[in-house]
Structure 1
Amino acid sequence: MQADIFTRRRNGGLLFFTLLTVLTTGSIVITRYDVLKGFTSIFRAFAWGAANFYPDAGAMTKLPDILLKLKETVLMSVASTTVAAIFAMFLALAGSSTTGLCSLSGIITRGVASIFRNIPLVAWAMVLMLAFSQSELTGYLALFFGSLGFLTRAFIETIDEVSNKPVEALQATGASYFQVVFQAVLPAGMPQLSSWLLFMVDTNIRDATLVGLLTGTGIGFSFDLYYKSMNFHAASLVVILIVITVIVVEMISNYVRRVIM
């Protein structure tokens, strides 16, 4: 029996790698990609980066402006995520099988969450630019809609995982809907709900850089401006500050998760 399982796994692995090799080879042939030139270009790219992509004295003079844009990006990410979390909580309560008002509300809420969640953030930014042009509002709404879909789905699953015993006990005593929600559902699911919120803040700070490239706002716009003007030293300073910010935020987020979980 174990020999048959091992044989099936081995054959499945061989089939997978065979298909992967065929697809890779076919793609190289169709696109006429020069594999040797591609690999040698990697080393030249690192050499160019070491020679040009680093902060110098001139780039440090732009540090105050860059930090201001970075602060705007972080604040916009936090604001869009927290507001989206509030709306997502109401939608999740209406869409959860534990606290839902009816089966129709669950279907509608899950459908809305799926639509918002499956539209890429870049697509949201491009669509919203048609209505609001390049502005802070465009970036804020793009992050808001993306967060709303993800958090609604995550909150629904978290609420559904809450044990039904406290809910049934409160309902048996004649507790109202809001008493059940605030005294049984939310206290039990709050650690996981907070963890999802922190994860979304962390993700949005990273995505806000890309949104800024499209909407002409925040730290993403600063990088785009310096890079297109060939001020690579200032652009490298922007990248370094983004990396430091993401690492710091992730460390804070992980610490808070360990505390609340």
Structure 2
Amino acid sequence: MRDDIFTKRRNVNLVFSSILIILTVGSISITQYDVLKGFASIGKALIWGMANFYPDPNSMRIVPEVLPKLLETVLMSIAATTVAAVFALLLSIAGSKTTRINSLFSMFCRGIASLFRNIPLVAWAMVLMLAFSQSPLTGYLALFFGSLGFLTRAFMETIDEVGNNSIEALHATGANYSHIVFQAVLPACMPQMISWLLFMIETNIRDATLVGVLTGTGIGFSFDLYYKQFDYHAASLVVMLIVITVILIEIVSNNIRRVIL
């Protein structure tokens, strides 16, 4: 019996590996990608980066100009994520199998979550630019819609994982829907939901840089501006400030998770 299980698992792995190899070779052939040239260019890119892409003393002149842009990006990410979390919480309560009002509305909420979650952030930014042009509002809405889809799905799964014992106990005592949601479900789910919220804030601060390049706002626009001016030292300083900010946010986020979980 055990040998049959191992044989079946080995055959599945063999089939999967074969399909992966065929897809890889086929993609290389169709795109005419030169693998050897690609790997050889990595060394040249590293040499160029070490020779040109680093902050120098002259690049420090841009710090007073860049820091407000960096703060704008961080605040925009936090605002978009927290507002999206409020709407995501409402949709997840209505869409979860544990707390849903009816099956039809639950399917609608799950459909909204899947639709928003599967549209890339870059696509959101490009579509919204058609309506709002390049502006902070475009970047905010792109982060908001992307966060709404992800957080709704994450909150739904968190609510679905809640044990039914406390819910059944409240049902037995004659508790109504609001008592079950606010006294049993949400208190049990809140630590995990806060963890998802912090994770989304970290992700959005990273993604906001790319959104800023597209929408002409925030720290992303500053990087794009210096890079297109061939001021690589200033551009590298912008990248370094972004990395430091993300690391600091992650440290704070991890400490909060350690306390609440």
**Normalization by structure 1: what TM-score?**
0.93
In structure 2, C-alpha distance between the alignment counterparts of 1:148 and 1:4, rounded to whole Å: 45
More divergent stretch after superposition (239-248 vs 74-83): 239-248
Q: Report the Cα distance in structure 2 between the residues aligned to 1:84 and 1:77, rounded to whole angstroms.
A: 11
Shift in Å at residue 185 of structure 1? 1.1
Tell me, in whole angstroms, the C-alpha distance in 2 between the residues paired with 1:202 and 1:143.
Answer: 12
- CA deviation string 1:210-244 (max 9, x = no partner): 11111111111111111111010010011111111
For 1:1-261, list aligned pairs within 5 A: 1-261=1-261
CA separation in 1, counterparts of 2:22 and 2:171?
A: 60
Structure 1 residue 40 displacement after superposition: 2.1
How many Å separate the matches in 1 of 2:66 and 2:202? Answer: 20
Amino acid at match of 1:255: N
Distance (whole Å) between structure 2 residues aligned to residue 177 and residue 4 of structure 1 = 49
Instruction: State the shift of 1:195 in Å.
Output: 0.9
TM-score, structure 2 normalization = 0.93
What amino acid does structure 1 have at the position aligned with 2:103? S
User: How many residues end up aligned between the 2 structures?
Assistant: 261
Where do 5+ consecutive residues of structure 1 fail to align? none
Alpha-carbon distance in structure 2 between the residues aligned to 1:190 and 1:122:
30
Cα distance change of structure 1 residues 153 and 31 upon mapping to structure 2, 3 Å threshold = closer
- Aligned partners of 2:9 and 2:243: how far apart in 1? 40
Measured on the aligned residues, the alpha-carbon RMSD in Å equals 1.8
Deviation at 1:4, TM superposition (A): 4.4
Shift of 1:12: 4.3
After superposing the two structures, state which structure 1 stretch, 35-44 or 186-195, moved more.
35-44
Deviations 1:78-102 (A, max 9, x none): 0000000001111111112222111
Deviations 1:130-149 (CA, angstroms, capped at 9, x unpaired): 00000000000001011111
| Aligned AA (2:124) | W
Shift of 1:104: 1.4
SS of structure 2 residue aligned to 1:62: helix
Provide the C-alpha distance between the structure 2 equivalents of 1:168 and 1:21, rounded to a whole number of angstroms. 50
Which consecutive unaligned segments of at least 5 residues does structure 2 have?
A: none
Q: Within 2, Cα distance between the matches of 1:99 and 1:28?
A: 48
Tell me which amino acid in the other structure corresponds to 1:112: I
